[in-house]
Every structure is written in structure tokens, then in C-alpha cells.
């Protein structure tokens, strides 16, 4: 089934709605929240059979190709950091959608002149 061509006005309204959904740019963080369990090595400790002590959380960041850094995340920080990471994911998705709309406008010769 052929997709109906949207009007230029509807594309611009879509772009505006997408831009309104962008997260607070001061509250974004790129990285991964990693959950770890560790074994202490003490004879008879439950961690040998239970899979380890934990969980503990670390924020893993790629600083440059081949260079990463991990930060220990205190439990009281975990939810906040997770929200910042989620904001970054939302930001990337929304920007990609806006770029797609702008590409379609460009192909039509209807891209706005930036001011």
C-alpha cells in the first residue's frame, strides 16, 4: 500500500511537536548503567553459591575510541542517573525524527531558512 504524502504544513507541525518533546538538555548523560555482583573470596560466604554480593552499580562512559571510564553509583544516585541516560536516549530518537522531517522538507524545497 502506498504511503500518503503529507502536506508541508503537517510536516512542520509534526516537527514542532517533536521539538516540544525534547528533554531538558541540562539533564542528559551518555553512557550505560552497569549492574555488578562480586564474590569476596571468603571461605563459606554465601556469595560463592548465590552469585555474589550486590548489586552495585557503575556508570560506564566511553571517553574516546578504546578509552572508557567507570564511576561508582551510590544507590541514592541510581534513579537520577537512569533518568539522565533515558533523557539522552529520548533526545537521540527525537532528533533523528526531526532530521527525517527536515530531510523530507529539503527534498520538497520547503526547508525553512534558519534565522
Structural domain count of the chain: 1
Q: How far apart are CA 32 and CA 8, in angstroms?
A: 38
Residue 100 lies in a domain: yes
The per-residue pLDDT for 16 is 97
Asked if residue 113 belongs to a domain, the reply is: no
Q: What is the pLDDT along the chain (115 residues), one digit of tens a residue?
A: 445 688 999 999 999 999 999 999 999 999 999 999 998 888 888 888 888 898 999 999 999 999 999 999 999 999 999 999 999 999 999 999 999 999 999 999 989 887 6
User: Minimal CA–CA distance to 11: which of 114, 115, 110?
Assistant: 110
Residues 6+ apart with CB under 8 A from 111: 102, 105
Structural domain including 66 reads 10-108
Structural domain contains residue 5: no
114 assigned to some structural domain: no
> In whole angstroms, what is the distance from residue 61 CA to residue 80 CA?
16
DSSP annotation of 115: -
Amino acid at each position: 500500500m502506498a504511503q500518503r504524502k503529507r502536506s508541508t504544513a503537517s510536516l512542520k507541525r509534526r516537527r514542532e511537536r517533536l521539538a516540544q518533546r525534547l528533554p531538558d538538555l541540562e539533564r542528559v548523560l551518555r553512557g550505560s548503567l552497569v549492574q555488578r555482583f562480586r564474590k569476596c573470596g571468603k571461605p563459606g560466604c554465601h556469595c560463592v553459591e548465590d552469585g555474589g554480593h550486590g548489586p552495585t552499580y557503575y556508570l560506564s562512559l566511553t571517553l574516546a575510541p578504546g578509552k572508557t571510564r567507570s564511576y561508582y553509583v551510590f544507590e541514592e544516585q541510581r534513579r537520577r542517573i537512569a533518568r539522565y541516560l533515558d533523557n539522552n536516549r529520548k533526545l537521540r530518537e527525537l532528533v533523528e525524527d526531526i532530521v527525517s522531517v527536515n530531510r523530507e522538507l529539503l527534498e520538497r524545497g520547503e526547508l525553512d531558512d534558519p534565522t
